[in-house]
Amino acid sequence: MSPAYLLRRLLAVILVLWIVTIAVFAITMVLPGNAAIMILGEYATPDQVAALEERLGLNRPAAVQYFEWLFNLLQGDLGMSLRLSLPVSEVVGSAFANSAMLAATALVTVTVVAVPLGIFAALKRGTKTDLGISFLAYTGTAMPEFVTATLLLVIFAAPGNPLLPAGGFIPPGESIAGFFHHVILPAGALSFILTAHIARQVRSEMSDVLSSDYIRAARLKGMRERRVVRGHALPNSLAPAVAVISLDIGYLLGGIIVVEEIFAWPGLGRLLILALENRDLPVIQVITLLLAMVYALTNLISDLVIAALDPRVRYE
């Protein structure tokens, strides 16, 4: 892969993010009620609102406000939260870290479980084992997070003698054991549907590879089964698996919002819901941008990983 390619891809990411800033800003402009009303509350007089609008510059043309906002953003000034009277960077920063920990735990779980499961099913194609795994995977993809989360709560965190806490968060800096104790249920709820989806994709990818001409050629060269699977088939099905996982990250970002709310996990999702309820515009804008950025960058990273796994993929 050439530096020119990387540069072009980064340019594309910046272009996407710029379009997202316009969309985010436009949406907050059409929402009823502006920042002045938010700050003053619903009993404010029109005069008070007008005075504050004047002071905040809310009566200037939209384009001017947009570019001022964008300019501040680029300088790292994310503004103040209207609700919490704290800098947005501070509020969002710690929530982002908490969400990242939850997402990473879920993603690692998904990858470690789904990929081997898919490969195993493909190797046992047509047998009862394969049928069983496929059945579970179908069931899994039909269960959204809120259903899984509720089930997990009922089973593992039922009042009386709960095996695991029903919600909350302990920073890993404070207690690693405590962190894991709390992360199991939310990460489990997030992982379930993704594991099912990715296992299905990996299975179908791997069985395509296993029935390909070059696998037949390897077998007819007298290669042992272990070498055929690990040396010939596996490298060919990893790159498509990475592509599927990176597509699913978009889904994971959506799921995290639901799951954090259910398990009271102090992350971006919870913060976003709080900000939406309170029309905390600066926070909403920054979180939306941040999610778009994470999605764009993980896609870029997955493309780079695919290029490393498959010699045919050459970016120039």
Partner 1 sequence: MPARDGIAAQCSVLDIRDYTLDYETPHGVPVQALRNVSLSIRPGRTMGLVGESGSGKTSLAWAIMRYLPANAAERSGRIELLGEDLRTKSDEEVQNLRGRRISMVFQDPGTSLNPVLRLGEQIAEALTRHRGFSAKEAREESEAWLARTGISRPADMMNRYPHEASGGEKQRVVIATAFACNPEVIIFDEPTTALDIITARQILDLFDDLHDETGVTALYISHDLGLVSRVAQDIAMIDRGEIVEQGACEEVFGRPRHEYTRGLLAAVPHPDRRIVDAAPAAAGNLLDLKGVNVSYGERKSILGFLEPKREVVRGARDVSFGVKPGEILGIVGESGSGKSTLAKVLAGLQEFEGTVEFDSRTYSRRRDIDREYRRTVQIVFQHPDASLNPRQTIGKILSRPLKLYNQLSRSEIARRIRELLRSVLLPEEYSARFPHELSGGEKQRVAIARAFAAEPQLVICDEITSSLDVSVQAAVARLLVELQQQTGTACLFITHDLNLVRQLAHRIAVMQNGDLVDLFETSQARAEERHSYTRQLLDAVPVLLDSGRQGRDS
Query: Which residues bind to partner 1, rule: CB under 8 A?
Result: 4-5, 8, 11-12, 15, 212-224, 227, 231-232, 235-236, 309-312, 315-316
Question: Alpha-carbon torsion 119, 125, 130, 134, what sign?
Answer: positive
Nearer to partner 1, 12 or 155 (CB): 12
Helices (H) and strands (E) in the chain, counts: 13, 0
Nearer to partner 1, 10 or 86 (CB): 10
Rounded CA gap, 35 and 249, in Å?
32
Q: How far is the CB of 299 from partner 1 (least distance, A)?
A: 14
Nearer to partner 1, 113 or 223 (CB): 223
Q: How far is the CB of 205 from partner 1 (least distance, A)?
A: 13
Rounded to 5°, the CA angle 158-162-167 comes to: 80
Q: How far is the CB of 315 from partner 1 (least distance, A)?
A: 7
Rounded CA gap, 179 and 59, in Å?
47
Q: How far is the CB of 2 from partner 1 (least distance, A)?
A: 9
Only one residue has tokens 């993704």, namely 194
Q: How far is the CB of 52 from partner 1 (least distance, A)?
A: 42
Q: Which residues, at least 6 apart from 150, have a Cβ–Cβ distance to it below 8 Å?
A: 262
Q: Please classify residue 81 by burial: count the beta carbons closer than 10 Å to its beta carbon, then call 0-12 exposed, 13-18 middle and 19+ buried.
A: buried
Nearer to partner 1, 245 or 306 (CB): 306
Nearer to partner 1, 50 or 223 (CB): 223
Burial call 231-260: b when 16+ CB within 10 Å, e when fewer = ebbeebbbbbbbbbbbbbbeebbebbbbbb
Q: How far is the CB of 314 from partner 1 (least distance, A)?
A: 9
CB of 8 closer than 8 Å to CB of 302: no
Rounded CA gap, 122 and 134, in Å?
10
Q: How far is the CB of 136 from partner 1 (least distance, A)?
A: 25
DSSP structural state of residue 44:
-
Tokens of 223: 């290669």
Q: How far is the CB of 68 from partner 1 (least distance, A)?
A: 28
Torsion of CA 250, 309, 206, 211, to 10 degrees: 140
Rounded CA gap, 73 and 79, in Å?
8
Residue among 181, 146, 148 nearest 164 (CA): 181
Nearer to partner 1, 7 or 155 (CB): 7
